[in-house]
Amino acid sequence: MNEKRTCLECGETLKGRADKKFCDDQCRSNYNNKANSDTTAEMRNINNILRRNRRVLVSVVKDDGKGKISKSKLQDKGFNFKYFTQTHTTQKGTLYKLCYDYGYMPIENDYYVVVRWGKE
């Protein structure tokens, strides 16, 4: 009946109240910080893809905040079309996909327009 309970963070044997899960506040906050941080491999992977996508879009855009590139060139640069952060539909009904603050939209002949998303 005397089950040995251990701290969820450091594994130390716990004394005291039966509902105790950590030896002290430090262990509790370490444990909670880990649980809340974006440390899963899958999340890191997706974040890296999104960051790379944004870097590619940045490289396409000229000083005026716009650019144009073919689909195959985007792919050569390592752009991943499966991942984007949000979509935006303009008043004219054009759908842009965005990676953070850069958007892109397919146009004719397998080309894409890329725009830096300024304040509108």
Compute the distance between CA of residue 22 and CA of residue 31 in angstroms, rounded to an integer. 9
Compute the distance between CA of residue 31 and CA of residue 43 in angstroms, rounded to an integer. 19
What is the footprint of Zn ion within residues 81-100 (CB under 5 A)?
A: none
The partner residues of 99 in beta bridges, in order of sequence, read: 102
Question: CB 4 → Zn ion: shortest distance, Å?
Answer: 14
Question: CB 2 → Zn ion: shortest distance, Å?
Answer: 20
Determine, following the binding rule CB under 5 A, whether residue 50 of this chain makes contact with Zn ion: no
Determine, following the binding rule CB under 5 A, whether residue 7 of this chain makes contact with Zn ion: yes
Alpha helices in the chain (DSSP H): 25-36, 41-60, 71-76
Determine, following the binding rule CB under 5 A, whether residue 54 of this chain makes contact with Zn ion: no
**What residues make contact with Zn ion under the rule CB under 5 A?**
7, 9-10, 12, 23, 27
